[in-house]
A = this chain, B = another copy of it.
Amino acid sequence: MSPKIVRVSVRDVRFPTSLEQHGSDAMHTDPDYSAAYVVLETDGGLRGFGLTFTLGKGTEIVVCAVQAMTGLVVGKSLEEIVRDFRGFYRLLTSDGQMRWLGPEKGVIHLATAALLNAVWDLWARMEGKPLWKLLVDMSPERLVSCIDFRYITDVLTEEEALELLVKAQEGKRQREEEMLREGYPAYTTSCAWLGYSDQQLKQLCTDALKGGWTKFKVKVGADLDDDVRRCRLIRQMIGPDNTLMIDANQRWDVSEAISWVSNLAEVKPLWIEEPTSPDDILGHAAISKALAPLGIGVATGEQCHNRVMFKQFLQAGALQFVQIDSCRLGSVNENLAVLLMAHKFRVPVCPHAGGVGLCELVQHLILFDYICVSASLSNRMCEYVDHLHEHFVCPVVIHNARYMPPKIPGYSCEMLESSVKKHQYPDGDAWKLYPKK
């Protein structure tokens, strides 16, 4: 008997990270890393855990959106959902009344992500496998049956997707073994948040180098002189052979992005991340074209709101690194579509992580990407940020700057109930100690 979903609960969980400027960047100066945290309860007792990441204020809006969608989920059995997962995805994203609020973007799509992440977690637990392994063991036919190809068939049809997956079966077992043995390469963003002092930067770089890290991301975009100084400092710390990326978090207009980044070319960044509005496909294309002669690529995606946008970024040559996000897109279903489109265009995928639970979630997707889609590690790495993992039941395991594949069944985003209770907003103990936003 397949478990039937009998109840959906959703909670507003916030961590007061703004107190120490963790996560600070040019556009988000005081984030309180937060989550709308979903638990699916089934009649058999098995539960599924999912979340979407937020920055504090407004998390209650996402909670409200999840509640508005629970009627589409409660009463369905897992078997009924996964038998026609594409149909279920469509049901959540194309409700005739609610799609007006998106469609497939903003609050309503973040809520979809939280719910579907929990469904995938439930499925993986039911099969007794970590999510990445559930995906790796699925047939190409089954995988494509989870994808809604609406609005992307001009770039990727179901038949083409199937063909790509069938082709990538070759060498799959070896790659799986390789990952289990060595893990997936990561880079760190933890050394250089915008709010950190030089002293902090130096210390964190020193520690990271000792820990085996070779790839570093620096936040930029608030002040050019300050950026030059900070980037030189980091480049000096890490030496010429390690990799440096810079991230402006949407701070600039198109021409400003080009001139600002040109001024930072001396520190040889691999990419400039989010140079401008996440909606500006043609703007990113212009920036890509201007920066290519300097050897600097453009990376974006953490706020790219759906597969239709990623499709166009790829069509327009507007990015050289695809940064998928496990909580902004419509969960695994929509990420599968993006991984396959990126593969078709031969653009490497370097997932966005950090936040609350993003590392825990996205590691599964990038492992699947390597084993079953891209079969390449060239110019590929997954973001890593080293805080808030202690609140998860199965936190990520990093060895020698690599993500080690999770072995416990599920999608790794179950939180410790004690953490949830303490950080529930506004009544948890953590919010009795700190000032309310």
Q: Tell me the A residues contacting B by CB distance below 8 Å.
A: 27-32, 54-58, 60-62, 64-65, 68, 94-110, 150-154, 250, 253-255, 276-283, 286, 303, 305-306, 308-309, 311-312, 315-316, 437
Q: What are 18 A-B residue pairs whose CB atoms fall within 8 Å in the complex?
A: A27-B94, A28-B100, A29-B96, A58-B98, A60-B68, A61-B107, A100-B303, A101-B110, A103-B277, A105-B105, A105-B106, A105-B279, A107-B107, A150-B277, A153-B255, A154-B283, A279-B306, A281-B312
Q: Give the residues in chain B near A106, CB-CB below 8 Å.
A: 101-102, 105-109
How far apart are the CA atoms of A304 and B153 in the complex, in Å?
21
Q: Give the residues in chain B near A105, CB-CB below 8 Å.
A: 105-106, 279, 305
Contact, CB under 8 Å: A58 / B54:
no
**Copies of this chain:** 2
- Closest chain B residue to A65 by CB distance? B61
How far apart are the CA atoms of A311 and B311 in the complex, in Å?
18
Residue of A28, A64, A150, A250 with most chain B CB atoms under a 10 A cut-off? A64
How far apart are the CA atoms of A254 and B150 in the complex, in Å?
10
Q: Give the residues in chain B near A102, CB-CB below 8 Å.
A: 106
How far apart are the CA atoms of A103 and B103 in the complex, in Å?
14
Q: Give the residues in chain B near A110, CB-CB below 8 Å.
A: 101
Distance of A27 from chain B, by nearest CB (Å): 7
Distance of A54 from chain B, by nearest CB (Å): 6
Residue of A27, A62, A154 with most chain B CB atoms under a 10 A cut-off? A154
Could you say which of B101, B281, B308 contacts A107, with CB atoms under 8 Å apart? B101
Contact, CB under 8 Å: A281 / B283:
no
- Closest chain B residue to A34 by CB distance? B97
How far apart are the CA atoms of A58 and B60 in the complex, in Å?
14
Residue of A32, A65, A95 with most chain B CB atoms under a 10 A cut-off? A65
Contact, CB under 8 Å: A97 / B30:
yes
Query: Looking at chain A's contact residues, is the secondary structure mostly helix, strand, loop, or mixed?
Result: loop
Q: Give the residues in chain B near A437, CB-CB below 8 Å.
A: 97
- Closest chain B residue to A109 by CB distance? B106
Q: Give the residues in chain B near A281, CB-CB below 8 Å.
A: 281-282, 312
Contact, CB under 8 Å: A100 / B55:
yes
Distance of A284 from chain B, by nearest CB (Å): 10
How far apart are the CA atoms of A109 and B61 in the complex, in Å?
13
Distance of A5 from chain B, by nearest CB (Å): 19
Contact, CB under 8 Å: B309 / A279:
yes
How far apart are the CA atoms of A55 and B437 in the complex, in Å?
32
- Closest chain B residue to A253 by CB distance? B153
Distance of A41 from chain B, by nearest CB (Å): 23
Distance of A198 from chain B, by nearest CB (Å): 23
How far apart are the CA atoms of A288 and B108 in the complex, in Å?
30
Contact, CB under 8 Å: B61 / A108:
yes
Distance of A110 from chain B, by nearest CB (Å): 7
Q: Give the residues in chain B near A97, CB-CB below 8 Å.
A: 28, 30-32, 54-58, 437
- Closest chain B residue to A106 by CB distance? B106
Q: Give the residues in chain B near A96, CB-CB below 8 Å.
A: 27-31, 55
How far apart are the CA atoms of A101 and B107 in the complex, in Å?
6
Q: Give the residues in chain B near A255, CB-CB below 8 Å.
A: 153-154
Distance of A277 from chain B, by nearest CB (Å): 4
- Closest chain B residue to A57 by CB distance? B97
Other than the given A54-B97, A58-B100, 8 more pairs (CB < 8 A) read A54-B100, A57-B68, A58-B65, A60-B64, A151-B277, A154-B286, A277-B308, A279-B312
Could you say which of B54, B99, B283 contacts A101, with CB atoms under 8 Å apart? B54
Q: Give the residues in chain B near A28, CB-CB below 8 Å.
A: 96-97, 99-100
Contact, CB under 8 Å: A316 / B61:
no
Contact, CB under 8 Å: A308 / B286:
no
Contact, CB under 8 Å: A280 / B151:
yes
